[in-house]
Chains A and B, each alone.
Chain A
Amino acid sequence: MLTFKDIVKSYEEDVLGPISIDIKNKSFVSIIGPSGSGKSTFLRLASGLIKQSSGLIGYNDNLKPKMGFVFQDSNLLPWRTVLDNVLLPLELTKEDKSKSIEKSLKWISRVGLGGKEDSFPNELSGGQKMRVSIARAMVQEGSLLLLDEPFSALDEVTRRRLEDDLLEIWKTNNITILFVTHSVTQAVYLSERVLVMSSGPGVIIEDLLINKKIDVGFEGTHEFLSQVKHLTDILRNEGI
């Protein structure tokens, strides 16, 4: 899906890299690391929003895929209804109007907001706003979904529901997910692979394939806890 080769990003100083990594198609990869390690920078590089200072980024078939980006805040446009917010990407890329509406409505109902199409963002809860944000990121039906600490402002119950819904979306849509988080348990729970970044300038200091034999009830297992402990120890040594 995505390959980083000797990627370095610097502003006045180096903030990231060198990083070389290969993200497999349809995988769910989480990135954890101390604040300032360059996690958001990593996502922005992957999305092409910013350019690397050196190194190469390659995509499948050498073609930059369509992708969605979900930020920590839902970042909805307050003057637009739910439907119009979800429509935005299709509007900006000038897709056919009636097909766009059809797709948007489908995604609104996929994220469980059927019936809220005409609501404005200020009429929604934090969790619902995040759902709209996910629908907006998915509506182009791209193959790569980037999320930057998306659920950290939500309460525990809402967060868990959204996590499970995100897993569902990932499984049913054959997409690749890059998920930045501060939470080790969240990373282990959600992903197939966890990358740990060092404090800035961030390099990858651990690349762990999550060993997950069962889906339901994974959190209670010894495997789950030992992997969480392993990652927590690494982060602790990095000085969080």
Chain B
Amino acid sequence: MYRYLSFIAPLLTFLVLLIFWEFLVNYNKVPLYILPAPSDIFLSLIVNYKDLFSSAFITLRITLFAFSIASSLAILLAILFSQSRLIELSLYPIAVIFQVTPVVAIAPLILIWVGFDNAEYAILILATIVAFFPVLANTNLGIKSVNENLHELFSLYGAGRYQRLVKLQIPFALPFILTGMKTSIGLSLIGTVVAEFVAGSGTSTGLAWRIIEAGNRLDIAKLFAALILLVILGIFLFLLISYIEKIVLKRWHDSSNI
């Protein structure tokens, strides 16, 4: 019962809000360039679907790219940390510095270095930086959380570093890694969009650029349409990782909620 309710209740709420919005806009005759009604936005989505969907695809592609690079690098770095305390002590603070630096602030620098002709690379780099830290921190935590008795068990059978890493630490850290990824995928999208904004028009034509463009033309309906696609992308990506998490961890649920 609650299963369905958790799905139906927010959907109904959302619908009611939409109807209310539609009604308010029509009743007060709010001009299109201030606040379009849901029906206008839907219409704009259909009329502009070519632009919008190709832009959404570009944003999605960079997001997934950035997420993959960030996750792989972060996992590798966390593994490296687990092998050498010295490396961890030396590099972790640098990772933290990257994490606390607002991406908008370094965007111009990266753009200059990469070159304005390669704005897509700059966006990729920026999104990667933003998405990097949660996976690093969570993987690191996961590897450190391995129970002492399990380590002793491996010692008893003379396990080497490699066996310990592959047969104990990495599998143990898996739920942690996936938790990090769930945060990270959202950040990749945010990072991509922010970087697209900073990179501005020209070579990049992701959703952020559509939003700027529509704003400049006071095509608020299209702006909203782009925004909605962005939200849908975000939800889709989150669900994707949640689904992967569910499949990977379905057999060992007690440890997936440590």
**A residues near B, CB below 8 A?**
44, 47, 49, 67, 69, 71, 73, 75, 77-79, 88-89, 91-93, 120-122, 140
Chain A, Cβ-Cβ closest to B252: A78
Q: Are A75 and B149 neighbours in the complex by a CB distance under 8 Å?
A: yes
**B residues near A, CB below 8 A?**
147, 149-150, 152-159, 163, 167-168, 171-172, 174, 251-255
- Sorted nearest first, the 10 A-B pairs with minimum C-beta distance are A78-B252, A92-B157, A78-B255, A120-B251, A92-B159, A79-B171, A71-B149, A122-B254, A89-B157, A75-B149
Q: Are B252 and A73 neighbours in the complex by a CB distance under 8 Å?
A: no
**Nearest-CB distance from A138 to chain B (Å)?**
13
Q: What chain B residues lie within 8 Å of A77 (beta carbons)? A: 150, 168, 171-172
Q: Are B149 and A122 neighbours in the complex by a CB distance under 8 Å?
A: no
Given contacts A69-B152, A75-B153, A92-B167, whether A122 and B251 have CB atoms under 8 Å apart is yes
- Report how far A223 CA is from B250 CA in the complex, Å: 52
Q: What total count of A-B pairs have CB within 8 Å?
A: 53
Q: Are B149 and A73 neighbours in the complex by a CB distance under 8 Å?
A: yes
- Report how far A44 CA is from B153 CA in the complex, Å: 11
Q: List 7 A-B contacts (CB under 8 A).
A: A49-B155, A69-B152, A75-B149, A77-B172, A88-B153, A93-B157, A122-B252
Given contacts A75-B147, A77-B171, whether A67 and B251 have CB atoms under 8 Å apart is no
Q: Are B158 and A93 neighbours in the complex by a CB distance under 8 Å?
A: yes
Chain A, Cβ-Cβ closest to B254: A122
Q: Beyond the given A77-B150, A79-B171, A91-B167, please list 12 additional residue pairs across the A-B interface where CB-CB is below 8 A.
A: A75-B153, A77-B168, A79-B174, A88-B167, A89-B156, A89-B157, A92-B158, A121-B252, A121-B254, A122-B251, A122-B255, A140-B157
- Report how far A92 CA is from B157 CA in the complex, Å: 6
Q: What chain B residues lie within 8 Å of A71 (beta carbons)? A: 149, 153
> A69 touches which one: B147, B156, B171, B254 (CB < 8 A)?
B156
> A75 touches which one: B150, B155, B157, B158 (CB < 8 A)?
B150
**Nearest-CB distance from B91 to chain A (Å)?**
29
- Report how far A89 CA is from B153 CA in the complex, Å: 9
Q: Are A78 and B156 neighbours in the complex by a CB distance under 8 Å?
A: no
Q: What chain B residues lie within 8 Å of A93 (beta carbons)? A: 157-158
- Report how far A93 CA is from B163 CA in the complex, Å: 10
Chain A, Cβ-Cβ closest to B150: A75
**Nearest-CB distance from A224 to chain B (Å)?**
33
Q: What chain B residues lie within 8 Å of A92 (beta carbons)? A: 154, 157-159, 163, 167
Q: What chain A residues lie within 8 Å of B163 (beta carbons)? A: 92
